Amino acid sequence: MVMDSHEKILIVDDEKHVRALFERVLVKEGYQVECAASGSEAIEKLAVDSFDLVVTDLKMDGIDGLDLIRKGKRAKQDLPFILISGYGTARTAVSAAEEGADVYLMKPIDITDLKSAVKKALRK
């Protein structure tokens, strides 16, 4: 049985089908979910609303995932981030950790891995 959670998650990805999939999965898990189609839109949402976790893609036009983590951590230092990339290298993973990503996932994402990464990030 899935319990309704008060935890609010912001999903940031420039691919509509990815946002829709992640939203559907996380809402089914009982989380409150909002989506943003770009880093800029995410920054706007973070400025006016409170979130418990941000799940963001790395490669996006304008403000990418690493920039979003930098700016998000400046506004709320303890805000956890999950960074997702289809272009992962060891260097990218190190950069993600240095910028404050709590979890780094490679595409294609296994839904079980996403759910467990969300639980892990929210526990921190």
In a domain, 104, yes or no: yes
C-beta of residue 82 within 8 angstroms of C-beta of residue 54: yes
On whether residue 123 sits in a domain, the answer given is: no
- Residues 106 and 57: their CA atoms lie apart, in Å, by 10
| Per-residue pLDDT at 44 | 96
Residue 79 structure tokens = 């805000």
List the CATH number of the domain containing 58: 3.40.50.2300
Domain that holds residue 95: 8-117
Q: Structural domain tally of the chain?
A: 1
Does 2 fall in a domain? Answer: no
Confirm whether 1 is domain-assigned: no
Residue 110 in any domain: the answer is: yes
| pLDDT given for residue 116 in this prediction | 96
Tokens (6 digits) for 44:
């706007």
- For residue 1, the model assigns a pLDDT of 45
In a domain, 13, yes or no: yes
Residue at 48 is within a domain? yes
Residue 124 lies in a domain: no
Phi, psi at residue 93, to the nearest 5°? -60, -40
Residue numbers in the chain where pLDDT is lower than 70: 1-5, 88
Q: Are 82 and 22 in contact (CB under 8 A)?
A: no
Pairwise CA distance, residues 105 & 45, whole Å: 23
